Structure 1
Amino acid sequence: MNAPKPSHARWRKSTYSGAHENECVEVADLNERIAIRDSKTPGAGHLTLSRQGFAALLAHLTSKP
Protein backbone atom coordinates (compact mmCIF):
# COMPACT_ATOMS: atom_id res chain seq x y z
CA MET A 1 0.00 0.00 0.00
CA ASN A 2 1.30 3.48 -0.87
CA ALA A 3 -0.10 5.65 1.88
CA PRO A 4 1.24 9.18 2.26
CA LYS A 5 3.26 9.71 5.38
CA PRO A 6 1.21 11.66 7.95
CA SER A 7 3.84 14.41 7.92
CA HIS A 8 3.11 14.95 4.20
CA ALA A 9 -0.64 14.41 4.44
CA ARG A 10 -3.19 17.16 3.95
CA TRP A 11 -4.71 17.64 7.39
CA ARG A 12 -8.16 19.26 7.71
CA LYS A 13 -10.47 20.04 10.59
CA SER A 14 -12.94 17.23 10.99
CA THR A 15 -16.58 18.09 10.41
CA TYR A 16 -17.21 16.07 13.59
CA SER A 17 -15.22 18.54 15.72
CA GLY A 18 -17.16 20.57 18.22
CA ALA A 19 -18.16 24.15 17.59
CA HIS A 20 -15.67 25.33 20.22
CA GLU A 21 -12.33 26.47 18.80
CA ASN A 22 -10.39 24.61 21.51
CA GLU A 23 -11.88 21.21 20.66
CA CYS A 24 -10.64 20.55 17.14
CA VAL A 25 -9.77 17.20 15.69
CA GLU A 26 -7.90 17.05 12.40
CA VAL A 27 -8.09 14.16 9.96
CA ALA A 28 -6.00 13.18 6.96
CA ASP A 29 -6.82 10.75 4.16
CA LEU A 30 -3.98 8.24 3.82
CA ASN A 31 -5.64 6.25 1.01
CA GLU A 32 -6.57 3.00 2.82
CA ARG A 33 -6.36 4.61 6.25
CA ILE A 34 -7.50 7.73 8.12
CA ALA A 35 -5.16 9.58 10.47
CA ILE A 36 -6.55 11.57 13.42
CA ARG A 37 -4.74 14.14 15.59
CA ASP A 38 -5.39 16.95 18.06
CA SER A 39 -5.11 20.29 16.27
CA LYS A 40 -3.66 21.97 19.38
CA THR A 41 -0.69 19.58 19.50
CA PRO A 42 -0.10 18.26 15.97
CA GLY A 43 3.45 17.19 16.79
CA ALA A 44 2.32 14.96 19.66
CA GLY A 45 1.41 12.11 17.35
CA HIS A 46 -1.65 10.74 15.65
CA LEU A 47 -3.94 7.75 15.56
CA THR A 48 -4.26 5.81 12.31
CA LEU A 49 -7.35 3.71 11.62
CA SER A 50 -8.60 1.68 8.70
CA ARG A 51 -11.55 3.26 6.90
CA GLN A 52 -13.79 0.62 8.48
CA GLY A 53 -12.35 1.35 11.93
CA PHE A 54 -12.89 5.09 11.44
CA ALA A 55 -16.51 4.48 10.40
CA ALA A 56 -17.03 2.28 13.48
CA LEU A 57 -15.51 4.97 15.73
CA LEU A 58 -17.83 7.63 14.30
CA ALA A 59 -20.85 5.34 14.65
CA HIS A 60 -19.94 4.68 18.28
CA LEU A 61 -19.35 8.34 19.11
CA THR A 62 -22.53 9.58 17.42
CA SER A 63 -24.65 6.95 19.20
CA LYS A 64 -23.76 8.43 22.61
CA PRO A 65 -26.17 10.93 24.20
Structure 2
Amino acid sequence: MNNQQPAKRNWFKSTYSGGDGGECVEVAAGPAAIRVRDSKERGRAQIAFTRGAWSGFVTGLGRDRI
Protein backbone atom coordinates (compact mmCIF):
# COMPACT_ATOMS: atom_id res chain seq x y z
CA MET A 1 0.00 0.00 0.00
CA ASN A 2 1.29 3.45 -0.90
CA ASN A 3 0.82 5.91 1.97
CA GLN A 4 2.49 8.83 0.22
CA GLN A 5 0.39 11.85 -0.61
CA PRO A 6 0.12 12.58 -4.34
CA ALA A 7 2.29 15.44 -5.53
CA LYS A 8 0.55 18.81 -5.68
CA ARG A 9 0.07 19.87 -9.26
CA ASN A 10 -0.20 23.41 -10.55
CA TRP A 11 -3.15 23.31 -12.93
CA PHE A 12 -3.78 26.05 -15.47
CA LYS A 13 -6.33 26.86 -18.16
CA SER A 14 -5.61 28.05 -21.65
CA THR A 15 -5.46 31.79 -22.18
CA TYR A 16 -8.18 31.18 -24.81
CA SER A 17 -10.61 30.03 -22.10
CA GLY A 18 -13.42 32.37 -21.22
CA GLY A 19 -14.31 33.21 -17.66
CA ASP A 20 -17.96 32.23 -18.08
CA GLY A 21 -17.57 28.63 -16.86
CA GLY A 22 -17.99 27.03 -20.27
CA GLU A 23 -16.29 23.90 -21.50
CA CYS A 24 -12.61 23.96 -20.69
CA VAL A 25 -9.72 21.73 -19.82
CA GLU A 26 -6.89 22.31 -17.37
CA VAL A 27 -3.31 21.14 -17.82
CA ALA A 28 -0.57 20.35 -15.29
CA ALA A 29 3.03 19.57 -16.21
CA GLY A 30 4.85 17.09 -14.00
CA PRO A 31 8.27 15.48 -14.23
CA ALA A 32 6.94 12.27 -15.80
CA ALA A 33 3.77 13.36 -17.60
CA ILE A 34 1.53 16.17 -18.77
CA ARG A 35 -1.95 15.71 -17.28
CA VAL A 36 -5.23 17.02 -18.65
CA ARG A 37 -8.58 17.20 -16.83
CA ASP A 38 -12.06 18.66 -17.25
CA SER A 39 -12.23 21.96 -15.38
CA LYS A 40 -15.83 21.29 -14.30
CA GLU A 41 -15.13 17.73 -13.07
CA ARG A 42 -11.77 18.14 -11.36
CA GLY A 43 -12.11 15.05 -9.18
CA ARG A 44 -12.75 12.71 -12.09
CA ALA A 45 -10.34 10.93 -14.40
CA GLN A 46 -7.35 12.63 -15.99
CA ILE A 47 -5.51 11.91 -19.20
CA ALA A 48 -1.72 11.61 -18.95
CA PHE A 49 0.60 12.23 -21.89
CA THR A 50 4.33 11.60 -22.09
CA ARG A 51 6.23 14.80 -22.82
CA GLY A 52 6.94 13.61 -26.37
CA ALA A 53 3.28 12.78 -27.06
CA TRP A 54 2.17 16.15 -25.64
CA SER A 55 4.67 18.00 -27.81
CA GLY A 56 3.39 16.20 -30.90
CA PHE A 57 -0.22 16.91 -29.92
CA VAL A 58 0.38 20.64 -29.41
CA THR A 59 2.41 20.90 -32.62
CA GLY A 60 -0.39 19.18 -34.52
CA LEU A 61 -2.92 21.71 -33.23
CA GLY A 62 -1.17 24.50 -35.10
CA ARG A 63 -1.15 22.72 -38.47
CA ASP A 64 -3.75 23.29 -41.14
CA ARG A 65 -6.28 25.00 -38.93
CA ILE A 66 -9.71 25.40 -40.49
TM-score, normalising length: structure 2: 0.68
1:59 match: secondary structure? helix
Higher RCO structure, 1 or 2 (CA under 8 Å, sep 6+):
1
Asked whether 1:44 is paired with 2:44, we answer yes
Residue 59 of structure 2 aligns to a residue in which SS?
helix
Whole-Å Cα distance in 1 between the matches of residues 47 and 19 of structure 2? 22
Q: CA offset at residue 18 of structure 1?
A: 4.2
Any stretches of 5+ residues in structure 1 without a counterpart?
Answer: none
How many residues align? The count is 60
Q: CA RMSD in A?
A: 2.4
Q: Which protein is bigger by CA-based radius of gyration?
A: 2
Bigger share in strand: 1
Q: Secondary structure at the match of 2:43?
A: helix
Task: Tell me the distance in 1 between the aligned counterparts of 2:33 and 2:61.
Answer: 19
Deviation >3 Å, runs of 4+? 17-21
Q: Identity percentage over the alignment?
A: 31
Structure 2 residues without counterparts, runs of 5 or longer: 1-5
CA distance in 1 between partners of 2:13 and 2:42 (Å): 12
Corresponding position: 1:24 with 2:57:
no
